[in-house]
Amino acid sequence: MPLGQRRDGVADEGPRPALAAAGARLGLLVALLLIAAVAWWWSAEQMRGMDAGPWTALGGLGAFVLLWVVMMAAMMFPSIAPTVALYARMARTRAPLAPSAFTAGYLLTWTVAGVVAWGIGASVSHLAGEALAWDSGGRVLAGAALVVAGVYELTPVKNACLTRCRSPFGFLLGSWRDGATGGLRMGVELGLWCLGCCWALMLALFALGVMSIVWMAFVAVLIAVEKIAPWRTWITWGTAALLVILGVVVLVAPTAVPGLTVPGVFDMPMMM
């Protein structure tokens, strides 16, 4: 066998390039986790005093989308970091910007989702008005949203999306595209699978208080556990049961939910 060539016929990079590549991947992984940590800190600072409970007012589009993107970085980067690191290893030095493009594509998907969420919230608030105040339909809507999120955990669509999110190697092999542009498209695709997996959990976050750092952390933990931890079946059923129970308690005794800010009679009706 010729020197510098592996048995599979692929040229061996040698020890120094291999160590450099491993260092670059580790640096990327650390960078993602540091960004997530800073995003958590920034989100906590921005949300201070803003939690008005379920269907918290979202404010203007620009401010909400900025906070939303930072929230997504905080909540999602820890769980997608292994996928980004594996992608960087597979891309190697052929496209140095590809891992950054991959991460940007992922965030782009969630940014668009945030714009859509704001649009839906603004439209519903404009059309429904006082009908969705907490003492009118808001409480029922919050409880129903949590129950829907729990039921969605057990659907085939959730299972298919979660399978992609839990199998980084399978996703990368099945969706591979070369270059930075290819990385951007792959990041968008992963974001779509993640959106299909997590949209109901995000709905639960809105129902519990999207400006609450406590509930943001709660949903982030659920997302990370679902994507990374073993015992998938038990986790899925446990998450579903937890969300349904939360929904029922919000309906019948909302003050019994720890950390839930129950809107007063004179709070704004919904989201805007």
Using an 8 Å Cβ cutoff, are 204 and 50 in contact? Answer: no
Report domain extents, the chain: 15-256
Tens of pLDDT, residue by residue over 228-272, are 888 888 999 999 999 999 999 999 999 899 888 887 633 444 444
Provide the CB-side half-sphere exposure for 24 (13 A, CA).
20
Distance of CA 54 to the CA centre of its chain: 19
* Weakest mean pLDDT among 31-40, 142-151, 179-188, 198-207: 31-40
Q: Decide: residue 170, CB within 10 A, 0-12 exposed, 13-18 middle, 19+ buried.
A: exposed
Q: Report the chain's mean pLDDT, rounded to a whole number.
A: 84
Output the pTM of the full model: 0.82
Residues 6+ apart with CB under 8 A from 113: 195, 199, 202
